[in-house]
Amino acid sequence: MKTCYLIGYPIMHSMSAVMHNTAFKALGLDYRFKFAEVEERDLEDFIESYLRSSETRGASVTIPYKIQIMNYLDELDVIAKNCGSVNTVVNDGGLLKGYNTDGVGALRSLRESYGSLEGVKVLIIGAGGASRAICYHLSLHAKELIIANRTINTAESLAKSLTGNPKCKSKISVKPLNDLGKSISNVDILINTTPIGMYPHVDSTPLEAESLKRDLLVFDIVYNPPKTRLLRDAESVGARTLSGVDMLVYQGSEAFRLWTGLEAPEKLMKLEVNRALGGSQ
């Protein structure tokens, strides 16, 4: 049996095990997906002792290790290198290669909900690993990206990496999260890439309702709960909303293909995730 892990801290809110074990079982694969809630001081030891094991096929990587884990890998896929973050690792005979499927999953989800992303204006909250991946992919299409973050230096570093890419089509700017001013009124899409509002802190939000507007798509990559306070507030002002469930499934589907070489049963994965979250979509 081959094992795939979810590496992060904390991770008990995650639906990744539900999603991947459902997919492995449906295709009759001798695989299992397990949680690895690893503290920072133990990360390197876990990677060397478990992730490189011949019994391990790979891992999903979540908060807070999407950037840090790159220090321990043997190779990076070109997209992961361009994003500057890794959310999927493949163990190939003890050699660890990092990939990033977050951006692909997010853009697929956005296109299904919004339509073409050519020329859009987007406000991104957060500048961590998920944000880096989503911003990289959006910068190939969007007219403007505004990165709002509590730590300005982190946002500026991300902005610099994006503008340094010759394929970048976007005007990139940085704003402090507590001083967005009229920025929201000038964008088409708002994306929260932070864990603010994630279970169990379900009453937290990165923005108050009065900051939102009707003609906006609000995308929260948090999926537990599937309707965060940010999305509830967005609905209250008449804005369109998009939860993180589809992104979870789509990025997971890409990871599944990297580990197994097979196409994932996405509809079944989404059904089981929603069922576990208490929904019915």
pLDDT in tens, 90-100: 999 999 999 99
Q: Are 144 and 263 members of one domain?
A: no
Q: What is the pLDDT of residues 151-171, one digit of tens each?
A: 999 999 999 999 999 999 999
Q: Are 19 and 122 members of one domain?
A: no
Q: Are 137 and 224 members of one domain?
A: yes
Decide if 169 is catalytic. Answer: no
Q: Are 120 and 209 members of one domain?
A: yes
Q: Are 86 and 122 members of one domain?
A: no
Do residues 250 and 266 make contact, with C-beta atoms less than 8 angstroms apart?
yes
Q: Are 18 and 82 members of one domain?
A: yes
Q: Are 166 and 232 members of one domain?
A: yes
| 179 class by beta-carbon count within 10 Å (0-12 exposed, 13-18 middle, 19+ buried) | exposed
Local confidence band at 279 (pLDDT 50, 70, 90 cut-offs): low
Q: Are 96 and 146 members of one domain?
A: no
Q: Which domain holds residue 139?
A: 103-243
Q: Are 208 and 195 members of one domain?
A: yes
* CATH number, domain with residue 16: 3.40.50.10860
Catalytic pick among 66, 97, 227, 270: 66
Residue 197 lies in a domain: yes
> Which among 194, 156, 162 has a CA at the least distance from the CA of 175?
156
Q: Are 10 and 124 members of one domain?
A: no
Q: Are 109 and 229 members of one domain?
A: yes
| Residue that the structure tokens 């939000």 belong to | 205
Residue 53 lies in a domain: yes
The whole-number pLDDT of residue 185 equals: 85
Average pLDDT, rounded, for the chain: 96
Q: Which residue has the higher pLDDT, 197 or 181?
A: 197
Residue 281 lies in a domain: no
* CATH number, domain with residue 182: 3.40.50.720
Q: Are 239 and 250 members of one domain?
A: no
Across the range 15-40, mean pLDDT stands at: 97
Going from the C-alpha of 235 to that of each of 190, 230, 248, the distances in angstroms are 13, 9, 21
Domain count, the chain: 2
Question: Does residue 181 carry a pLDDT above 80?
Answer: no
